[in-house]
Structure 1
Amino acid sequence: MAIVETDLPPATVLLDTDRQSYIGKPASKKGKWQKFVSFIWDSDYYEKSDAERRLVFKLDCFMLAAMTIGWWLKNLDQNNLSNAYVSGMKEDLNIQANQYTYMGTIYNAVVAAMQIPSSFIVMKLRPSWFLAACEIGWGVFTFAQAGAQSYQAMYGFRFCIALFESFYYPIGFFILGSWYTRPELAKRIGLWFVAGPAGSAFSGFLQAAIYKNLDGLHGLAGWRWLYIVCGIMTVPCGVTLLFLVPDFPENTKVWYLSEEEKVLAKERVARGGAQPMKGKINGQVIFSALKDWKFWILVPFYCIYGFAVQNGTQFGVYLKAYKYSVTLRNVLPSLMYIIQIPCILIYCYISDRTTRISRGWIMLGPLIWGIFPTAVLAFWPNSNPLRVFAFMVNGSLYITPVFYAWVAEMCGHKTELRAFITGSTSCLFYTFNAWLPAIVFLQTDGPRFKKGFRTTFACCVTSVAFVILIILLRRREVRKEKNAMTSEQQPPIQAEREGDVEEKL
């Protein structure tokens, strides 16, 4: 056994350097291929047993793939509103003043209300069943939007879609954090998360293609066909989640994992210092979380950071105001999301590779860079190309996967705490998103949105200060935990002697 210093809880300090399988299997083969995979992918791949490699491979192929497709479809369906709005829905439904803004407000209000309950619900109900039912539900109401005849009908449909979609975000982070270890987690969350901008980007290209080829077919406008096509794609995916999401290591019954692999999965969780999920929900969990500094710092940080990256949602409105074509109104925002994808993957890869460095330092880079594009829109220079550039690079500010990997790392020793903080961060973000855009991003203020863009700029600057504070608090916490563990491991006789010496001094 060897002692290795990390930024993880004390329970994770003891590691088996031979990496024998925890269920008695022989050690893995260690050749050039394994070294290569360790270099480009998981830094501990070379040290893993063959059994552990097979387990992680199965999780990647089935769980990660299914949840990524579901997340892709969620963002595809969610982004359809903005694409439909600039592609004829505004005129067909006679949407006036801030009615479009209120559609987003309704969506965010419902999502906010369900964030904290969602993480606790899946501690009682199997995530595979719950997520499958939710995805089928929002697929049905995606279909329904194609038949909307008024903005009031869209209000109702947005409410129902938000209710079903609200669970996917926090539950997805919660499940991934329950199966993957420190060197694996951020990259997987990153791969899962980039399906979001990929879905948003695809929505723009899809709407552009539908507007060109299906607009007017069977008497239906192109924006209505967009909802029909997306509904056809969403419902079958909900069924696949039922069979491919493995629930949690403590209660999984999924068909593609053997009994030995289920045992190994639980041992991987224990090796990372996490407690088994007991599924107990009581006031003590919330009370203990409220006493922890993480709740009071991490939750406000994510709310502020989440609003700092909101500029991209107004890109389509800006393009329409400046008389760009319908095709460009859909394609240019899609390119903005495409830029976001490699940035997220790079941040996550670096985050997993630098195990000796806090993930917070990785988050600082994009946030500091983000001050520039948010400042451009806040102070609105005369250059149209510069403003378009500021919109286009908005996606390079996204560090959400690294943040949630950091949360899983900091709260991994207490599953219930992790569930509560994960839900709380999303809850507060969507709570603010339910009313703040309605104040600072009024459509009647577009495309300048002076109040909105200056608010996002201030949030970006504040996010930088928050990350530095979190790094310092986390460093102090790790130091206290290591000192406490050292004191507990000290032999009683030696402790008594040291106490005598201190008393004499």
Structure 2
Amino acid sequence: MGADTTVSATAAPAEDGAVPTNTVAPTTPTPPRRSFRSFIWDTDTHLKTPEERRLLRKLDFAILSVGCLGFFMKYLDQGNLANAYVSGMQEDLKMYGNQYTYAGSVYTVAYAVMQIPSTLIIQRVPPRLWLTFMEVGWGVWTFAQAGMHTTGELYAFRFLVGLFESSFFPAMLYLLGTWYTKTETAKRVALFHMTAPLGTAFGGYMQAAVYNNLNGVHGLAGWRWLYIVCGCMTVPVGIATYFLLPDTPFRTKAWYLTEAERALALERVNREGKAAPSSINLAMFKRVLSSWKWYLFVLGYVLYGESCGGNGYFGIWLKAEGYSVDDRNLIPTGTSLISGACVVLWGFLSDYTGSRFTFVLVPLILTLIPNGILAFWSSNKHLLEFAFLTVNIQLMTAVFYTWANEVCADDNEQRAVVISSMNGFQYAVAAWLPILIFPQTTAPTFRRGFPTTFGLVIAAIFAVLAIQFMVVRDRRRAAARRASTDSEAGGLSREQVIVSVKDEKSVE
């Protein structure tokens, strides 16, 4: 595609049958020259036609704009509980004991409940309609938190925010995995996911600015103004989703795509071997649950996700150390910015090398250092600060989800259920695990919490190794079946079958 080829020419034979002397030797087609963009973006950019590159530019603008802005707002709204808590909400709502932990768990329960239903709903309801409704809904309930006066109201509003936020992440992961190819997906999921730590970081900066400039304005505390400002930002992004999100290649009617571009998008999906949506019934669930993919990807992701649980307690430690309100909001943003950079780094390296397994495993190994420091609680204050800042360098969520997207590509419903189950079960465990291991009464050292997250990192490493073992096993079995079929159809010898299987193994 897009390659320059040189056509070899041979002079016509002489009438007397003599061998012509002006025969032009055939030449090898000249491979297309790699562009600079092929090194910093998609490695196969130089192989794409101008039409395909134009299609990708439109998809990137639409999907990544909606995805990144929406996910930024999701984490801004999710993280503002911590910012509000250390900025006066604790005292105003008389939140003592473990109420803060309970508020987080109520949100998490609601968020977990809708994960799998959300990805199944968008198989029937256009994603742009469903996500617009859900995002505007969570914006409204974010507004509502500005008026709460009791912890009971806090629990109710956090539950509703979690319920309406629940669809966005799994639906966007499903759509990203549907539209993009293997050389394109991980970096785009990484850019999408990078907005999560950026949203958390921005929440700290915004709360500091709100506290300094709006605290007491119209009789409202600064933490209440935070919820008002967040709501004002969220609702317009939800409305934009309706106009920009292109649904799926199988049924898109996006106004900015031509008929030719829609056909090209569908051809790309077919070329990647991605299955079209089919019926949702009991047989579908039996098919999904009879595969190792659901069990191991969910287990591996839950272990990995819970191992990231130590990042939410930096501000509480800073408060215990006597830092100011501004410092409690601003210093933890360093953790978010570092983890955001790592999300992009792991995603780009994964797409560039073509390896998902490597860039799921390596970040987990690296994070043993900061998690170990917190687990054994160093007496060195600067070392603890370093550990809090780098505790989430293992944030390779984009690569993990891309891996699952690709392994399940040949079964659309399995892909949807596996992806949503990974996130849903991780949040389901996160609904109760922090209550056990991070009770507020053990702050700021959390002697049960940090040793547990350290152990979870180690368990996640073993789960990832198990996933890779099964992926390699399936590839070898598939290669053997193909070689056997070719042997029966084309009369290949046993030795040729063995060579075919070895060739398949070498690609792994």
Normalised by the size of structure 2, how large is the TM-score?
0.90
- Partner of 1:411 in structure 2? 408
Structure 1 residues 493 and 270, CA gap change in structure 2 (3 angstroms): closer
Distance across 2 between alignment mates of 1:110 and 1:315: 25
- Partner of 1:440 in structure 2? 437
- Kindly state the Cα deviation for residue 498 of structure 1 after the two structures are TM-superposed: 5.9
- Partner of 1:393 in structure 2? 390
Aligned: 1:475 with 2:475: no
Aligned: 1:174 with 2:171: no
- Partner of 1:205 in structure 2? 205
- Kindly state the Cα deviation for residue 458 of structure 1 after the two structures are TM-superposed: 0.3
- Kindly state the Cα deviation for residue 492 of structure 1 after the two structures are TM-superposed: 3.2
Secondary structure of the corresponding residue to residue 149 of structure 1: coil
Pick aligned residue for 2:454 from 437, 452, 457 = 457
Contact 2:4 2:32 in 1 (8 A): no
Contact 1:19 1:48 in 2 (8 A): no
Distance across 2 between alignment mates of 1:365 and 1:493: 43
Contact 2:2 2:49 in 1 (8 A): no
Secondary structure of the corresponding residue to residue 134 of structure 1: helix
Structure 1 residues 266 and 322, CA gap change in structure 2 (3 angstroms): same
- Partner of 2:338 in structure 1? 339
Equivalent residues, number = 471
Contact 1:114 1:166 in 2 (8 A): yes
Q: AA paired with 1:359?
A: R
Distance across 2 between alignment mates of 1:271 and 1:494: 28
**Larger Cα-atom Rg:** 2
Structure 1 residues 493 and 401, CA gap change in structure 2 (3 angstroms): closer
- Kindly state the Cα deviation for residue 276 of structure 1 after the two structures are TM-superposed: 1.6
Distance across 1 between alignment mates of 2:65 and 2:293: 31
Secondary structure of the corresponding residue to residue 177 of structure 2: helix
- Moved >6 Å (runs of 4+): none
- Kindly state the Cα deviation for residue 240 of structure 1 after the two structures are TM-superposed: 0.3
- Kindly state the Cα deviation for residue 395 of structure 1 after the two structures are TM-superposed: 2.5
Runs of 5+ unmatched residues, structure 1? 1-15, 21-29, 500-505
Distance across 2 between alignment mates of 1:399 and 1:286: 28
For residues 19-98 of structure 1, the aligned pairs below 5 Å read 35-98=35-98
- Partner of 2:327 in structure 1? 328
Distance across 2 between alignment mates of 1:261 and 1:417: 27
Contact 1:79 1:203 in 2 (8 A): yes
Tell me the percent identity.
43
- Partner of 2:258 in structure 1? 258
- Partner of 2:505 in structure 1? none
Distance across 1 between alignment mates of 2:62 and 2:420: 25
- Partner of 1:466 in structure 2? 463
- Kindly state the Cα deviation for residue 145 of structure 1 after the two structures are TM-superposed: 0.4
For residues 97-136 of structure 1, the aligned pairs below 5 Å read 97-136=97-136
For residues 347-372 of structure 1, the C-alpha deviation after alignment (integer angstroms, 9 at most, x for no partner) is 111100112xx311121111111111
Contact 1:19 1:49 in 2 (8 A): no
Contact 2:3 2:32 in 1 (8 A): no
For residues 363-388 of structure 1, the C-alpha deviation after alignment (integer angstroms, 9 at most, x for no partner) is 11111111111111111111111111
- Partner of 1:183 in structure 2? 183
Secondary structure of the corresponding residue to residue 249 of structure 1: coil
Q: AA paired with 1:343?
A: C
Secondary structure of the corresponding residue to residue 275 of structure 2: coil
* Between 485-494 and 329-338, the greater mean CA deviation after superposition: 485-494
Aligned: 1:313 with 2:278: no
Contact 1:308 1:457 in 2 (8 A): yes
Distance across 2 between alignment mates of 1:311 and 1:131: 30
- Kindly state the Cα deviation for residue 489 of structure 1 after the two structures are TM-superposed: 2.7
Runs of 5+ unmatched residues, structure 2? 6-30, 496-508
Distance across 1 between alignment mates of 2:309 and 2:488: 55
Secondary structure of the corresponding residue to residue 396 of structure 1: coil
- Kindly state the Cα deviation for residue 471 of structure 1 after the two structures are TM-superposed: 1.5
Distance across 2 between alignment mates of 1:493 and 1:170: 44
Aligned: 1:144 with 2:158: no
- Kindly state the Cα deviation for residue 491 of structure 1 after the two structures are TM-superposed: 4.8
Distance across 1 between alignment mates of 2:384 and 2:199: 24
- Kindly state the Cα deviation for residue 232 of structure 1 after the two structures are TM-superposed: 0.5
Normalised by the size of structure 1, how large is the TM-score?
0.91
Secondary structure of the corresponding residue to residue 229 of structure 2: helix
Q: Over the residues paired in the alignment, what is the CA RMSD in angstroms?
A: 1.8
